[in-house]
A and B are shown apart, each in its own frame.
Chain A
Amino acid sequence: DADVTQTPRNRITKTGKRIMLECSQTKGHDRMYWYRQDPGLGLRLIYYSFDVKDINKGEISDGYSVSRQAQAKFSLSLESAIPNQTALYFCATSEIGLSEQFFGPGTRLTVL
């Protein structure tokens, strides 16, 4: 969905490096989410934010941190990347009171 953008789209990095993945949305939604997708494991929730001051851990938050800089921006950081964080990362948004989530195009991250 063009209304949810993610940068970078692809990134290769080395073990121990700090990485930030960024998500921006023009939908005006208050709720934002970060997922990772792995073959055979599906989509798993890392962190979610219901508004700028509300951030919550998801199913697999260890090794990750997030920052909600504004309603439209939600960043995911890997403080010290490790190879098992190699995955496809998706940002999603939703409106308050509605359940549909709109996904960005994804960031393919490879940690060597």
Chain B
Amino acid sequence: QKEVEQDPGPLSVPEGAIVSLNCTYSNSAFQYFMWYRQYSRKGPELLMYTYSSGNKEDGRFTAQVDKSSKYISLFIRDSQPSDSATYLCACGANSKLTFGKGITLSVRP
């Protein structure tokens, strides 16, 4: 079992939908949790970053971490076509990140 598992997708939603992206992890040593967004032919860029269990909100994006269940989520409200990209969850410890496989999201106008 990979240390970080991510729903494989792809995922297609209409514009304005609420999107929920999820990952689970198995290593209790992970201390921080991130979501990266990757557009086609680009490198990943950090979207959200959290250390603790709970919710962190930034505009239309909310990252949720439940350390007791080893479950992390990213919610996108009022999704836009510009949100169409691959989303990667990442779990970190000791300055190293372990990534999920990524899920490709397509938001239809």
* A residues with CB within 8 A of B: 1, 4, 31, 40-45, 48, 50, 58, 90, 92, 94, 99-106
Query: Cβ of A41: which chain B residues have Cβ within 8 Å of it?
Result: 101
The segment from B13-21, B56-64, B74-82, B90-98 found at the interface with A is: B90-98
Contact with A along B67-109 (1 / 0, CB 8 A): 0000000000000000000001000100111111110000000
CA distance A99 to B42 in the complex (A): 20
Do residues A50 and B95 form an inter-chain contact, with CB atoms below 8 A? yes
Query: Cβ of A44: which chain B residues have Cβ within 8 Å of it?
Result: 99
**Choice from A40, A48, A99, A103 contacting B44 with Cβ under 8 Å:** A103
**Interface-central residue, A41, A58, A103, by most chain B CB under 10 Å:** A103
Having A50-B95, A100-B49, A103-B45, one finds 19 other A-B pairs with CB under 8 Å, namely A1-B43, A1-B45, A4-B43, A42-B88, A42-B99, A42-B100, A42-B102, A43-B44, A43-B88, A45-B97, A45-B98, A90-B44, A99-B32, A99-B34, A99-B92, A99-B95, A102-B46, A105-B41, A105-B43
Query: Cβ of A103: which chain B residues have Cβ within 8 Å of it?
Result: 43-45
CA distance A53 to B68 in the complex (A): 38
* B residues with CB within 8 A of A: 6, 8, 32, 34, 41-46, 49, 88, 92, 95-102
SS of A interface (majority):
strand
CA distance A31 to B41 in the complex (A): 24
Query: Cβ of B88: which chain A residues have Cβ within 8 Å of it?
Result: 42-43
Closest Cβ neighbor of B46 among chain A residues: A100
CA distance A42 to B36 in the complex (A): 12
CA distance A101 to B88 in the complex (A): 13
CA distance A101 to B102 in the complex (A): 17
Do residues B44 and A31 form an inter-chain contact, with CB atoms below 8 A? no
- CB-CB under 8 A for A106 and B43, given A50-B95, A99-B92: yes
Looking at the assembled complex, report how far the CB atom of B30 sits from the nearest CB atom of chain A, in whole angstroms: 11
Query: Cβ of A48: which chain B residues have Cβ within 8 Å of it?
Result: 96
